[in-house]
């Protein structure tokens, strides 16, 4: 029960990251936001790791390779796409696009994780993708006819990055604790982000960021990363990547709710219809009992 409560709280934290990201749009450039988020989070995680483990765990070559891949996918790739997309896409809409994450996890688990994608799961994928098309195209049946921007397409890259991060993370934790995996991947991602952020003058810009920007960055670092990533990885360790991924269906609900309450973002009928399809399809794709092969 505690695992599921942590997962639900994590999804609320992650729903809030879309609002925090929107509040940073136009104030903090994407690479700066991603770098500062993980520089802060990585420092906190390192202190926690040293306190819990009382040492820095050694990594073998396989684990080092896994950490590098986690940093490239879940930190560098995901966050650059995340902050770039939120420059132009509302928090609620972005949350619904990211709701395709469970579908991405299921597809990659079928390809690389030994979890077959049977007929019912395939139907779930189709339903979820149809909902995403409805959301992304603003109600047009054809993407070519819809008003599809770079922001929406960029956010689709988040789905691929997070699916890779989840599946790789499950394999990586065969030899590492969740805390070690999250800490080292955050540090690796920060190192990957650093060259571009520093070249863009992130250190010179820091004094220009006001209280609202720093509050958003701290929220993203502490709740969205330290607590969220750790609890998510603990859940993957306990119940697996696919079952944990199902809870991501709650993220767009929290994102729309917080977007409405905090940013006064409108919630259109198309957004609700597409969101219902995305979430229903993701649930069908990942529901163990519904997808179980008949005896």
The mean pLDDT of 31-43, rounded to a whole number, is 94
- Summarize the confidence of residues 45-71 as an average pLDDT: 87
Coil, strand or helix at 21: helix
Cα 80 to Cα 89: distance, rounded to the nearest angstrom: 14
Q: Flag whether pLDDT at 36 surpasses 90.
A: yes
Identify whether the C-beta of residue 294 lies closer than 8 Å to the C-beta of residue 145. Answer: no
Mean pLDDT of 25-51: 92
Expressed as residue numbers, the domain containing 263 is 2-291
Note the pLDDT of residue 212: 93
Q: Which range is least confidently modeled, 29-33, 94-98, 127-131, 163-167? A: 127-131
Number of domains the chain is built from: 1
The pLDDT of residue 291 is: 43
**DSSP conformation class of 117:** -
Q: How far apart are CA 294 and CA 165, in angstroms?
A: 31
Tokens read off for 114? 């030994």
pLDDT band at 245 (very low <50, low <70, confident <90, very high): low
On the question of pLDDT at 147 being above 60, the answer is no
Q: What pLDDT does 222 receive?
A: 95
| pLDDT surpasses 80 at 237 | no
Average confidence score pLDDT of the chain = 82
Is pLDDT at 131 greater than 80 in this prediction?
Answer: no
CA dihedral 158, 161, 167, 172 (to 10 degrees): -130
- Per-residue pLDDT at 211: 93
Indicate whether 281 pLDDT > 90: no
């Amino acid at each position: 029960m505690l695992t599921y409560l942590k997962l639900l709280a994590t999804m609320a934290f992650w729903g809030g990251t879309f609002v925090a990201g929107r509040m940073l749009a136009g104030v903090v450039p994407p690479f700066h936001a991603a770098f500062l988020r993980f520089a802060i989070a990585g420092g906190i995680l390192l202190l926690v790791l040293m306190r819990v483990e009382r040492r820095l765990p050694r990594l073998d070559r396989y684990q080092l390779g896994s950490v590098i891949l986690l940093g490239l996918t879940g930190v560098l790739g995901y966050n650059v796409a995340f902050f770039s997309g939120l420059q132009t896409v509302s928090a609620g809409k972005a949350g619904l696009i990211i709701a395709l994450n469970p579908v991405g996890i299921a597809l990659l688990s079928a390809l690389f994780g030994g979890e077959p994608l049977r007929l019912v799961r395939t139907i779930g994928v189709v339903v979820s993708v149809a909902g995403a098309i409805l959301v992304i195209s603003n109600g047009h049946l054809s993407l070519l006819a819809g008003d599809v921007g770079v922001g929406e397409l960029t956010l689709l890259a988040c789905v691929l990055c997070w699916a890779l991060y989840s599946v790789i993370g499950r394999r990586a934790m065969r030899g590492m604790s969740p805390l070690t995996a999250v800490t080292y991947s955050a540090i690796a991602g920060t190192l990957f982000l650093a060259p571009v952020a520093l070249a863009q003058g992130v250190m010179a810009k820091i004094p220009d960021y006001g209280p609202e920007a720093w509050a958003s960055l701290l929220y993203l670092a502490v709740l969205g990363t330290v607590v969220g990533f750790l609890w998510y990885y603990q859940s993957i360790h306990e119940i697996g990547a696919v079952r944990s991924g199902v809870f991501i269906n709650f993220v767009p609900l929290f994102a729309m709710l917080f977007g409405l309450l905090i940013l006064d973002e409108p919630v259109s009928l198309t957004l609700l219809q597409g969101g219902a399809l995305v979430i229903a399809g993701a649930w069908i794709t990942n529901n163990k009992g519904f997808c179980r092969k008949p005896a």
